[in-house]
Amino acid sequence: MRPFEGGGEMIREVTRANVTYADAPMRFEAGTPPIVEAVGLAAALDYLDAVGRERIDAHELALARNATRRLKEVNGIRIIGEAADKGPIISFEAIGIHAHDLATILDREGVAVRGGHHCAQPLMERFSVSGTARASFALYNTAAEVDALIAAVGEARRVFG
Amino acid sequence: MDQTLRELYQDIILDHSRHPRHFGALPGASHVAEGHNPLCGDKVKIYLLVDANRRITDVSFEGKGCAISVASASLMTELLKGRTVEEAEGLMGGFLHLVRGESAQTLEEDDRERLEVMAGVSAFPMRVKCATLAWHAMKAALEGERTARTE
């Protein structure tokens, strides 16, 4: 396979008449490699190991379970996807409120969700919904942020009735 | 809820979205076009009946979408009825200024007052295309196009 771009480190020999390229993968990695990114990735992995993968899992799942339970207490909220071993992410519909209206209100209340069909239109059709809001939890999220999510969904409910 | 949100979701907008005016197909329409926003899934179909004097004697729409796009379509149908094609284009020009937060001096005072309820969307750049979808579809219909897209 011929190289798709030129740059440092991808050449074997260049003469006035001819050129030969380094072996793969070097021939496809012209120029300065992403050194900073590789160092950053290693630092991020060290950080995750220092915190502990199991602790991160437990923290994220506790937030998601708490949020799921409390979302169900808000009027007209339908949770989509409740597999027993699902990850710390919640797709939900506020019945009567389009996902983009919901996402706009949540955004203004300081809560970032993804709203819409999530590039999964057939799945939306399967659940008879035009779109959902999707909240996810990571190790840096807090219980107070779950409170903010619940309050913001309640606010959207008040606006739209 | 903060002020910018309150301006976006005014009672009149919520009312139009819950009870859209001139909703449904218009049998005998002379001009029809569909507006589609593939990224958010909003769809709106505009029906116009234009007479020999280029006057819009009847108008309707159908479709589904967020509160902003449905309210905007509903409000548009209220304003279009009885206007000439040229007046409709003028309304659209003024409306586009309003939702982008620009001044809409070209609009008659009455029209400006009625359309100004949508001006709150200018604080939400992501949502401007929701408000303009029906208007683009209307323009496409008048120009004999069958579809309009806001993406």
B123: region left, alpha or beta (phi > 0 left; psi from -120 to 50 alpha): alpha
Instruction: Please report residues of B whose CB lies closer than 8 A to that of A160.
Output: 9, 14, 67
> Residue B38 — very low, low, confident or very high, per pLDDT cuts 50/70/90?
confident
- Which residue, A87, A101, A96, A85, is CA-closest to A133? A101
Burial-class residue B118 by CB neighbours within 10 Å (0-12, 13-18, 19+).
buried
Is B4's CB within 8 Å of A121's CB?
A: no
Q: Per-residue pLDDT tens for B135-147?
A: 999 999 999 887 7
Is A108's CB within 8 Å of B1's CB?
A: yes
> Which ranges of chain A have pLDDT less than 70?
none
What per-residue confidence (pLDDT) applies to B151? 55
Could you tell me which residues come within 8 angstroms of residue B44 by beta carbon, excluding any fewer than 6 positions away? B34, B35, B61, B62, B63, B65, B69, B70, B73, B133, B134, B137
Q: Per-residue pLDDT tens for A32-69?
A: 989 999 999 999 999 999 999 999 999 999 999 999 99
Could you tell me which residues come within 8 angstroms of residue B36 by beta carbon, excluding any fewer than 6 positions away? B42, B43, B133, B147, B148, B149
What per-residue confidence (pLDDT) applies to B106? 87
Is A108's CB within 8 Å of B66's CB?
A: no
Amino acid at A156: A
ipTM of the complex: 0.89
Residue A131 CA to residue A85 CA, distance in Å, equals 23
Nearest residue of chain B to residue A156 (CA atoms)? B1
Is A108's CB within 8 Å of B2's CB?
A: yes
Which residues 130-149 on chain A approach chain B with CB closer than 8 angstroms?
130-131
Is A116's CB within 8 Å of B41's CB?
A: yes
State mean pLDDT over B113-122. 94
Instruction: Please report residues of B whose CB lies closer than 8 A to that of A120.
Output: none
What per-residue confidence (pLDDT) applies to A18? 93
Q: Is B13 touching A (CB cutoff 8 A)?
A: no
Residue A8 CA to residue A120 CA, distance in Å, equals 41
- In this complex, which of A99, A108, A130 lies closest to B64 when CB atoms are compared? A130
Distance from the A139 Cα atom to the nearest Cα atom in chain B, whole angstroms: 28
Distance from the A93 Cα atom to the nearest Cα atom in chain B, whole angstroms: 13
Is B9's CB within 8 Å of A131's CB?
A: no
Residue A34 CA to residue A142 CA, distance in Å, equals 33
- Kindly state the tokens that stand for B85: 């094609």
What per-residue confidence (pLDDT) applies to B150? 65
